[in-house]
Structure 1
């Protein structure tokens, strides 16, 4: 069950982070102020909506039921963690702490960002499959 849920959440993440993310969201989600937060929250809400849809479809196809409260908690976790990670300061702070300044300057931040998102999805899938 964990692998199925993790895969569904990962596919949802890919759909929301790439084909459904607008240029405006990508360029503004980390900026300070109302416009930055608006772009960030709409992008995170897209993740929640896509992952919720895939969880409902996946549960139907797999013939299982997901308890409502853990599913809502997992979706809230996905939305909040996605929003915070996409503010970019957690990735910057991690790379500074890990002494990855050179890698950060050469495109490494995108990989650390995606790794953080996937780790959050794994936590959500673990909670849903417990």
Structure 2
């Protein structure tokens, strides 16, 4: 069940991060103040809904046994961590710690960002599959 859950949630993540994310969200989600948080939370809401739909599809189409409370907790975990990662400072901090300043200047932050999101999805899929 892990593989099915991960693939469904990863597909939902990709949809929410690329075709469903507005230019405004992408450009402002890491901005300081209320406007930045509004853009960030609108983007995170898209993730929440996309992953919820993916889990529902997994339940209805693939007959995956996904209990409601663990599913909701997984959605909160995914949305909450996504909000923090997309503020961009955690990625920048990691890249400074890992001595990746050159890679950061040449587009590496986007790869580190996506890796962090994928690791969050792996944890969520593992926990859901273990229940």
TM-score by length of 1: 0.98
Aligned counterparts, 1:1-130, within 5 A: 1-130=1-130
Taking structure 2 as the reference length, the TM-score comes to: 0.98
Q: Which moved more, 1:2-11 or 1:65-74?
A: 65-74
CA RMSD of aligned residues (A): 0.6
Which segment drifts farther, 55-64 or 23-32? 55-64
Rounded to whole Å, the distance in 2 between the matches of 1:127 and 1:56 is 17
Per-residue deviation, 1:13: 0.2
Spell out structure 1 runs of 4+ moving beyond 3 A. none
Q: Which 5+ residue runs of structure 2 have no aligned equivalent?
A: none
Distance apart, 1:91 and its partner CA: 0.2
What is the aligned length? 130
Please state how far the C-alpha of 1:58 moved relative to its aligned partner. Answer: 1.2
- Give secondary structure in 2 for the equivalent of 1:39: helix
User: C-alpha displacement at 1:65, in angstroms?
Assistant: 2.3
Q: Deviations over 1:88-110 (max 9, x none)?
A: 00000000000000000000000
CA–CA separation in structure 2 for the residues paired with 1:64 and 1:14: 21
